[in-house]
């Protein structure tokens, strides 16, 4: 088993542990929406980083899902109507 050649002195030990502390986070404002974000991170509000759209946000995804669902429901309702018209037309003959 490897063993340290010398004892770590109190001064060396304390110098090392002096850099181990919690630093305050650096906050900046998003260039696109002025939302407060941590620096060097994508804005969760608008999905922008360095003035470019990087990520689809949770809100946008929810909105897209809702629109797709509504479109699908409308399509199904139309299909149902068409089917009912066809069947009623056949009964009339
Ligand atoms: Zn933003």
Residue range 2-58, pLDDT digits in tens: 999 999 999 999 999 998 888 888 999 999 999 999 999 999 999 999 999 999 999
Using the 8-state DSSP alphabet, how is residue 61 labeled?
A: H
- How many Å lie between the centroid of ligand 1 and the Cα of residue 64? 19
The set of residues, in sequence order, having a beta carbon less than 8 Å from that of 33 and lying 6+ positions away, is 43, 45, 46, 48
Whether 20 is covered by a domain: the verdict is: no
- How many Å lie between the centroid of ligand 1 and the Cα of residue 44? 7
- How many Å lie between the centroid of ligand 1 and the Cα of residue 43? 5
The domain containing residue 62 runs over which residues?
58-93
Structural domain count, the chain: 2
Question: Over 70: is that where the pLDDT of 91 sits?
Answer: no
- How many Å lie between the centroid of ligand 1 and the Cα of residue 47? 6
Q: CA 77 → CA 19, 58, 83, 88, distances in Å? A: 66, 29, 10, 16
CB atoms within 10 A of CB 43: 22
Same-domain check for residues 68 and 82: yes
- How many Å lie between the centroid of ligand 1 and the Cα of residue 27? 13
């Amino acid at each position: 088993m490897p063993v340290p050649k010398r004892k770590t002195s109190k001064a060396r030990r304390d110098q090392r542990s002096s850099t181990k502390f919690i630093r305050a986070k650096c906050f900046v404002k998003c260039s696109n929406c002025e939302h407060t974000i941590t620096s060097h991170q994508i804005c969760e509000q608008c999905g922008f980083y360095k003035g470019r759209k990087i990520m689809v946000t949770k809100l946008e995804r929810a909105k897209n899902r809702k629109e797709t669902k509504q479109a699908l429901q409308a399509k199904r309702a139309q299909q149902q109507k068409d089917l009912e018209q066809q069947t009623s037309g056949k009964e009339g003959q």
